[in-house]
Amino acid sequence: MKIFEITDKKAYLNELFAGDRFESFYLYELRCRSDMDYYVSGKLAETEEAADTSGYAVWGEVRKKLLTVIGTEDIPKTMKLVLMFNRDNILRLIEMNNIPLSPESVGGLFINISLDQNGMTATTGTSIKEFTMDKTLEHTWDSTVEKYYTV
């Protein structure tokens, strides 16, 4: 786990809600306070369509809807957004870096984005379904987020 300070909140939020850098991530959850408190779970309803995916909404497909709900006038007072790397990208990350884990053993790779009066941070998170002392995946994910997802 690594924490990255986001210095330009407005640019980062613009990239999240209007750019393409995060569009293939899954929405795990969003908590936001602007004019009201909002909570959105990214978990899809049980349908045939959801059975073919991770079970979570794709951020690129829902972010504009969410933006209309939480508003575009001001930066939210607080926000916690949890995005999950999609399964195809997890497979590629494992293969490209020769990580000694099967893709099925990875529960998820996460970016937790927090915004409050003290600032904005992006924190990495990994979930592995089996015990391992090897931290290669965690370190690789930290580097990937630092290089590509901290703007």
Residue count (the chain): 151
Question: Residue 131 phi/psi, 5° resolution?
Answer: -75, 135
pTM for the predicted model, two decimal places: 0.90
Continuous segment of H or E residues that includes residue 139: helix 136-148
Instruction: Tell me how many domains the chain contains.
Output: 1
**Residue 102 or 47, more confident:** 102
Banded pLDDT at 140 (limits 50, 70, 90): very high
Q: For residue 71, what are the domain limits?
A: 3-148
